[in-house]
Amino acid sequence: MGQLEEHRIATPDGHIHVVAQGSGPVVLMVHGNPGLAYSWRHQMQPLADAGYRAVAIDCLGYGRSDRPDGLEHYDSNAMHRQLLSVLDHFKAARAAIVGQDFGAQYSWNLAVRAPERVGAIAATVPYDYDMAGRGLQGSNPPEDGGDDSMAMSSTRVRPSERYANMARNHFVHVHYYQEVGPAERELGPQLREYLSRILYALSGEGNLLRWSSYPSEGTGYMDVLEKAPPLPWPWLCEAEFERFVQDYGRGGEGHEFAGPLAAYRVADRNWEIGAAWADHDVTQPALFICGAKDPVLLVIGADWRERMRQRIPRLREPVLVPGAGHMVQQEAPEAFNAALLAFLREQPAGAFASL
């Protein structure tokens, strides 16, 4: 239903490239790293056919969107105002939002910080378990004697300190990315090979966490990422992969990964901003859907389900898609779309509204 439209939307931080299809209540989809609006290519038509206005963005610093310098354009406050600009452009007073990877972090934040604009949320990373999160422990958790100096989420220890502690034991990308320069010099000139390796490593067939076998000293990210098998893969063909290469390459030398690298480098800033929201629950209907083989599930702790149920009263039963990894909406689009559409159909008319 309807042709794919392209929009270029002005925000306080730069212009964002957006694709849209269909008419009806707005469903805004927000990607992470390594992603694009194109990462939602399998969701656009099904959502439009089901009577929704499917909207997917190239986040600032990615794809066909602007890539401004300055971390102030990429922190959680900036992402918040950019998403609101997109909703305003489509005259959506209240919409459903779907987030993957960093996009999940931005989506949860929008649901908590502007609850009147979000009628329902679906995400592929648990709430408050992003790099700047607190693992749903709130602002003042009781002392339990545990050591969170190397945890992925913590109320007590700043992200950059935790990353540095991890890096004393082995290579870890979140620490490697903190310094400006090394990642730009390593990954930009190897754009095609890096995208091939990281997309495969994050998939259900990959092994992202093999970095734990490598020391930090003298190691780059390409050293720890296995060479991917030749395309096509079951979920990605040559033409689709070429779209990722072309759109990341649009940034030019040194700016190929402006958005992703900035997203890692604002972790401390986001952790500080997030302190004001640490005790806020998600009150909207929520769906957590991810690949059963997503490496995120291996690093966030086994009690994530119970913590989410406590802080998200209207959470649906989590959906773990067998065989899929971190790129679940691309790896298993049929299962992902079925779960998402079923969730959206449950929502009352009041979950959506126009300005």
Domain ranges for the chain: 5-354
pLDDT in the model for residue 146: 62
Determine the pLDDT at residue 246: 98
| Rg of the chain on CA atoms, in Å | 19
> Considering 101, 128, 148, 294, which one is annotated as catalytic?
101
- Separation of CA 58 from chain center: 12
Q: Could you tell me the two tokens for 320?
A: 């773990």
Query: For position 144, what pLDDT does the model report?
Result: 63
Q: Which pLDDT belongs to residue 47? A: 98
Per-residue pLDDT, 39 = 98
**Phi/psi of residue 177, nearest 5 degrees:** -75, -15
Q: Is the peptide bond before 68 cis (omega within 30 degrees of 0)?
A: no
Report the C-alpha gap between 117 and 80 in whole angstroms. 11
Write phi, then psi, for 10 (nearest 5 degrees). -80, 135
| pLDDT reported for residue 64 | 98
Whole-number pLDDT of residue 149 = 61
Distance CA(280)–CA(345), nearest Å, equals 26
Q: Pick out the chain residues at pLDDT < 70.
A: 1, 142-150
Which of 17, 31, 73, 326 is catalytic? The answer is 326
pTM value is 0.96
Closest CA to 337 of 38, 45, 101: 45
The whole-angstrom distance between residue 44's C-alpha and the CA centroid of its chain comes to 18
pLDDT at res. 300: 85
- Is 326 in the active site? yes
CB 135 within 8 A of CB 157: no
Measured CA angle at 96 (ends 94, 101), to 5 deg: 130
Neighbour count for residue 47 (Cβ, 10 Å): 28
Alpha-carbon gap, residue 114 to 112, rounded angstroms: 6
State yes or no: is 175 an active-site residue: no
* 68 DSSP β-pair partners: none
Q: How far apart are CA 69 and CA 222, in angstroms?
A: 25
Please state whether beta strands 286-291 and 118-123 pair in parallel, antiparallel, or not at all (unpaired): parallel
- Type of residue found at 54: A
Amino acid sitting at position 232:
P
Looking at residue 236, what is its pLDDT?
A: 98
The set of residues, in sequence order, having a beta carbon less than 8 Å from that of 174 and lying 6+ positions away, is 131, 159, 163, 166, 264, 267
DSSP letter (8 states) at residue 255: -
Decide which of 3.30.450.40, 3.40.50.1820, 3.40.710.10, 3.50.50.60 is the CATH code for 5-354.
3.40.50.1820
Check: CB of residue 135 under 8 Å from CB of residue 300: yes
Q: What is the 3-state secondary structure (H, E, C) of 178-219?
A: CCCCHHHHHHHHHHHHHHHHHHHHHCCCCCHHHHHHCCCCCC
Measured CA angle at 198 (ends 208, 236), to 5 deg: 115
Residues 326 and 122: their CA atoms lie apart, in Å, by 15
